[in-house]
């Protein structure tokens, strides 16, 4: 009798993503996954190919549904200065409301990148490169509109803004107070102030 799927793949992936996000890849067992996803081990292997393939799918889904959608939303803000301010404020709000101290799934995985295979490393690298490109576009647009200094090197400032954003995500996992996070945000925004 052929295998029959009795669950929705994106919903099951989202449940796995939440688990991987909170526990990390290594600490998440197959038993954890089947329990959280509400499926048996055979269904997991048939639908996803195993833990590593499921993790890749969860990362791609997070990047698409969280990272890219968030950046698209802020890129639509007409004033680049307001876009950056709103983005960093949103990150601080997310971090403050994140009582489980999960941080960002992509950033968390980037800290474990040396332990992952090249496919997972590439997903993380591409996501981070996409975020950096977002910052570069915002800086360039701000320069074109005259709200950011013309003499800035957009690529360098974009890289620095990415670094500040990652610092917020990592330090918010319990190492920094909200006041400390706001100081980091203020330093990031100083990079583009006139």
Over residues 135-172, the pLDDT tens digits come to 999 999 999 999 999 999 999 999 999 999 999 999 88
Give rounded-to-5 percent helix, strand, coil for the chain: 75, 0, 25
Kind plus residue range of the DSSP H or E element containing 186: helix 178-190
For the domain covering 58-190, report its CATH number: 1.10.357.10
Q: Residue 95's CB: how many other CB atoms inside 10 A?
A: 20
- At 65 the pLDDT is 94
Q: pTM for the whole thing?
A: 0.89
Cα distance between residue 157 and residue 149, in whole Å: 11
Residue 189 has pLDDT above 90, yes or no: yes
- Would you kindly state where each structural domain of the chain is located, as residue ranges? 58-190
pLDDT higher for 2 or 16? 16
Residue 2 has pLDDT above 50, yes or no: no
Which range has the worst mean pLDDT, 24-33, 50-59, 95-104, 133-142?
A: 95-104
Residue 3 has pLDDT above 90, yes or no: no
- At 101 the pLDDT is 81
Per residue in 81-107, pLDDT (tens digit) is 999 999 999 999 998 888 888 889 999
């Amino acid at each position: 009798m052929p295998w029959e799927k009795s669950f929705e793949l994106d919903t099951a992936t989202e449940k796995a993503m939440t688990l991987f996000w909170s526990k990390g890849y290594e600490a998440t067992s197959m038993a954890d996954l089947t329990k959280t996803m509400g499926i048996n081990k055979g269904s997991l292997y048939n639908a996803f190919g195993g833990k590593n393939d499921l993790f890749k799918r969860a990362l791609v889904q997070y990047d698409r549904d969280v990272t890219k959608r968030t950046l698209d939303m802020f890129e639509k803000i007409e004033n680049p200065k307001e876009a950056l301010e709103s983005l960093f404020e949103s990150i601080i709000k997310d971090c403050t409301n994140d009582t489980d101290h999960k941080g960002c799934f992509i950033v968390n995985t980037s800290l474990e990148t040396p332990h992952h295979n090249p496919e997972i490393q590439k997903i993380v690298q591409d996501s981070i490169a996409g975020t950096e490109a977002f910052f570069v576009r915002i800086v360039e647009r701000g320069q074109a509109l005259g709200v950011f200094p013309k003499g800035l090197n957009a690529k360098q400032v974009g890289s620095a803004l990415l670094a500040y954003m990652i610092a917020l995500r990592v330090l918010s996992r319990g190492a920094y107070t909200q006041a400390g996070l706001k100081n980091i945000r203020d330093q990031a925004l100083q990079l583009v102030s006139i």
